[in-house]
Amino acid sequence: MRLIERYLFRQLLGPTLATTLALALVALLSQTLQTLDIIVDQHQSAAVFTKIVLLSMPQLLAIVLPIALFVAALITLNRLHTEQEIVVCFAGGASRWRVVSPFLRLAVLMAIFTVVLNLWIAPWCQRLRQDELFRVKTDLVTSLVREGTFTQPGKGLTVYAQSSDRSGALNNIFIDQMKDDGSSSTFNARTGNIVVRDGKPAMILHEGSNQALSKDGNLNYLTFQEYVFDLSAYVSADDTVFYKASDRYLHELLKPDLTQPEEKRNRKKFLAEAHGRLAAPLYDIAVVMLALTGVLGGAFSRTGYGRRIAIVIGVTLTVRVLGFGAQAACTANAGLNFLQYLVPLIPILVTFRILFRTSARINAPVALKTLAPIAGAA
């Protein structure tokens, strides 16, 4: 790149990074609020909560990147126009392509980055996130027992543990079980552990007693050194994690395992997700072209380009909404997937035609006339 192109590239890069970071943090905040129940309901540590939230960042970044590019390009172009730097570029003999090319170079770089995000980084992080959420969901200690609190993890079952140590051992345990036939059992134990035996969850109680009241009113009392309390009736039978469309790699979306009923049922949804990821980088280029058109896509104006900018903002929002709508439509009809590419390609082609049509060029004489009052005042 020549000096002027490097300068314009640097002017755009800073606002792009700042805007991307700001929008990503806003999106991350909304994700944080949605995931807050991990700590509130599941009693997980702040480290687990932070890990789950941060693993959603790549997917959020891929969503906000086109918006950040568009906002940054408009801010940069408007500032360059206000400070007459674009006029100076044309007055110095720079062609329209030399002014536009730094913006397109950054758009292409961001499009490549979006490809990497969508095809590899985001699915990998989403898988790790789903695995962590599944581990939290199936964590028997946190789902069944809360220190110092009476919990009811299932119908007719009340559990209390005074404390637990780092190894997961529970201290001073109380369990009250009401059965459907009207009988009840109460267990007290000094210590206990939640384990999985023969594929079934159970609590091993140590040094305790049991008081059992039959439906006839007979009371039985016994003490034990070890007792196995079966928990399988109170724990979900799900033992595998199902990866959603957003959690899968491209080859898994394009070629799902049709022998699995769940994957066969979601085949069109997977295909729509795959084409959506492949089409997403085109939006990075489309929004930059629209921003360029808002400032450079018409006759030169000393008073600014507010009306044209307002139009391209409306067009950009419409294009993005149509993109989401096209992907949603493709989940019902796989034959419409071409629309996911057509939606961003149309504004790219139209804006390219507007930007480089002969009548839209700014020639040096016009630019020099504009600079004359400025030079005289100086």
In this prediction, residue 364 has a pLDDT band, given cuts at 50, 70 and 90, of very low
Residue 375 pLDDT greater than 50, yes or no: no
Q: What is the DSSP string of 77-124?
A: HHHHHHTTHHHHHHHTT--HHHHHHHHHHHHHHHHHHHHHIIIIIHHH
Task: Report the alpha-carbon distance of residue 76 to residue 72 in Å, rounded.
Answer: 6
Residue 190 pLDDT greater than 50, yes or no: yes
Domain boundaries, the chain: 3-137+243-377, 144-234
- Mean pLDDT on 91-95: 81
For 185-198, b/e burial (b = at least 16 CB within 10 A) is: bbbbbebbebeeee
- Mean pLDDT on 347-359: 84
- Residues of the chain with pLDDT > 90, as a percent, come to 50
Write the DSSP symbol of residue 162.
Answer: E
For 65, 67, 322, 333, the CA distances from 287, given in Å and listed in that order, are: 10, 8, 14, 27
- Mean pLDDT on 187-214: 87
- Mean pLDDT on 9-21: 94
Task: Report the alpha-carbon distance of residue 215 to residue 82 in Å, rounded.
Answer: 87
Burial tier of 199 (Cβ tally within 10 Å: 0-12, 13-18, 19+): exposed
Q: For 220-278, write each residue's pLDDT tens digit.
A: 899 999 999 888 777 665 556 788 999 999 999 999 988 888 889 999 999 999 999 99
Residue 143 pLDDT greater than 90, yes or no: no
- Please say whether the beta carbons of 198 and 168 come within 8 A: no
In this prediction, residue 34 has a pLDDT band, given cuts at 50, 70 and 90, of confident
Task: Report the alpha-carbon distance of residue 292 to residue 312 in Å, rounded.
Answer: 9
